[in-house]
Chain A
């Protein structure tokens, strides 16, 4: 009896099972094999050049051995991390890195927001277009050219900024080769180059503000400043938070190329950061394991900061990256 009932149940539900069968990656493979073929090359490239180096991170815990390649060598544990933390460079590197990236964020993060709010106020269409075209342009100049530009313009004897400084009585101030001016020159030139480009995303957010909000604010007698404060700024807050999380995630990863190109013996005490040091130790002096350990130290702090910021943002504003 029992046997019979199960059999009938089975026969009854058999077609249903086939219909309800959840499509999985495996059983849709035959149908989607063309899609797999199309994405396969991209998977291979990302796997080889992004994931294999992640596997190679273990080099930081091993003694690099030329004969054994990427992951050979004897296990040495945290030897290179302790070596880095105890080295005389450690505090200087960490301080320089944090000072440089924090200043970049504090000055560089609000700048495009302010610019976007300003541009949004312009009613003269042609003028707006000209201003936008101009402020986006420096973003496309290469870093080498930008630093070259700084060198010729800021040169104390022949550069135009040098002449202006002399006219105001600041003689013999070499903006490029002094420990006190390196950070301002780095940060301000960064703002100069990217402020326009970074404002696009805020302008996009501003353009999607509901026009009815403007109308009702005007009906309530709000003046222009009150509209900015109570309508426009709240409208771009989500964008601001997302970008802030992303920026905090890279707080101790500074722009290697620009710092490297701006370095000279005179400003080195403030311009040597973790990434440039990794390059010098690893690529120039071939101490691969030590450099990998320093690099990993940097990556881990970044990743931890990103997660923390994301957590804080999620908790207080319900906005997060994922």
Chain B
């Protein structure tokens, strides 16, 4: 409150500020509380959680859920697969997107406009699920790890962000000077453009990484072999199909209620474990994400 009255404003302003701060406080609570609740519920006694006794602080500290999770091989197979797909996938994404964006940012490149249209058109029109599925089948990508890495490895939105960044922050004089010194486009891109573009490389790298990490659709449509499934599919089975225990005793029967309580605790734990990598890096990269949206908002 001290902040509000310090400057000695009129009553209307104070009421207005008070109103703003109350609304913002409510919004903060609505968004933050469910996230906080999952954290405390995952380390509390499952009976207390399911009867609604755990509200503000963990009660009856218990790591039962996490113990079960660490013994569940499915989660770690999914984790390992998603790690591989995300890292390799992001690498391929950057390998294709960055040079293409550089080319599209060169004003002397004659095919620039027509190629831009070639890319942007795919944002508004596509062949749809079935032709795409049959194409993957013809290319024999179904049930291989490559379906996570090769198809759609150029995201047009990220391409535009990167191109806009190169256009606005790499002055043409730089290329002219470099080419006088004998630089061609390859060396100029590698030795000058990339070192100057760390911000945009981290932005789109992180966009791609999060996209791969959260990708559920590819596994659902194109993968039948369970040993290739990414984490999100395993999560679906645990969180939504209620196959919490590997033996399949998630619900039903006389022990149903009992099992359900433990199942819920495992679910809270799984939510934390699967989101942990993103939660850990989030505070550090948050400023980059914002930057990405702002670069992208410059009309391309």
Task: Please list the residues of chain A having a beta carbon within 8 angstroms of any beta carbon in chain B.
Answer: 23-25, 28, 32, 34-36, 38-39, 41-43, 45-46, 48-57, 59, 69-70, 115, 118-119, 121-124, 127, 130-131, 133-138, 140-145, 147-149, 151-153, 155, 157-158, 160, 163, 192, 196-197, 200-201, 204-205, 223-225, 239, 242, 249, 256-257, 260-261, 275, 278-279, 282-283, 288, 291-292, 295-296, 298-299, 303, 306
Q: A135-B31, A292-B128 are in contact. Are A142 and B275 (CB under 8 A)?
A: yes
Other-chain contact of A59, B130, B210, B274 (Cβ < 8 Å):
B130
Main secondary structure of the interface of B (DSSP, over half): helix
A256 touches B217 (CB 8 A): yes
Bound state CA distance, A319 and B108, in angstroms? 28
A145 touches B261 (CB 8 A): no
A145 touches B239 (CB 8 A): yes
Main secondary structure of the interface of A (DSSP, over half): helix
A144 touches B27 (CB 8 A): no
B34 touches A118 (CB 8 A): no
Chain B residues near A42 (CB, 8 Å)? 96-97, 99-100, 119, 154, 159
Q: A70-B134, A70-B138, A148-B271 are in contact. Are A53 and B127 (CB under 8 A)?
A: yes
Other-chain contact of B134, A38, A39, A69, A225 (Cβ < 8 Å):
A69
Residue of A nearest to B221 (CB): A283
A43 touches B153 (CB 8 A): no
| Distance between A197 CB and nearest chain B CB, rounded to angstroms | 8
A35 touches B103 (CB 8 A): yes
One digit per residue, 1 when the CB lies within 8 angstroms of any chain A CB and 0 when it does not, for chain B 265-279 equals 001101100110010
One digit per residue, 1 when the CB lies within 8 angstroms of any chain A CB and 0 when it does not, for chain B 182-217 equals 001110010000000000000000000010011011
The 3 closest A-B pairs by CB, nearest first: A53-B127, A148-B239, A56-B131
B134 touches A144 (CB 8 A): no
The winner among A54, A55, A151, A296 for most chain B CB atoms within 10 A is A54
Q: Which of B210-235 contact A (CB under 8 A)?
A: 210, 213-214, 216-217, 220-221, 232, 235
Q: B106 within 8 Å of A by Cβ?
A: yes
- How many residues of B are in contact with the other chain, CB < 8 A? 98
A291 touches B129 (CB 8 A): yes
Q: B23 within 8 Å of A by Cβ?
A: yes
Q: A46-B118, A147-B239 are in contact. Are A295 and B130 (CB under 8 A)?
A: yes
Subset of 18 A-B contacts with CB under 8 Å: A24-B110, A35-B106, A39-B100, A41-B99, A42-B99, A46-B118, A46-B154, A69-B134, A70-B131, A124-B3, A124-B21, A142-B275, A149-B271, A152-B267, A158-B261, A201-B294, A224-B13, A299-B126
Q: A46-B154, A53-B128 are in contact. Are A35 and B109 (CB under 8 A)?
A: yes
Q: B246 within 8 Å of A by Cβ?
A: no
The winner among A24, A140, A163, A249 for most chain B CB atoms within 10 A is A140
Bound state CA distance, A260 and B275, in angstroms? 21
Q: A46-B154, A124-B3, A134-B32 are in contact. Are A57 and B127 (CB under 8 A)?
A: yes
Chain A residues near B240 (CB, 8 Å)? 144, 147-148, 151, 261
A39 touches B104 (CB 8 A): yes
Chain B residues near A41 (CB, 8 Å)? 95-96, 99-100
Chain B residues near A155 (CB, 8 Å)? 264
Chain B residues near A57 (CB, 8 Å)? 127-128, 131
| Distance between A68 CB and nearest chain B CB, rounded to angstroms | 11
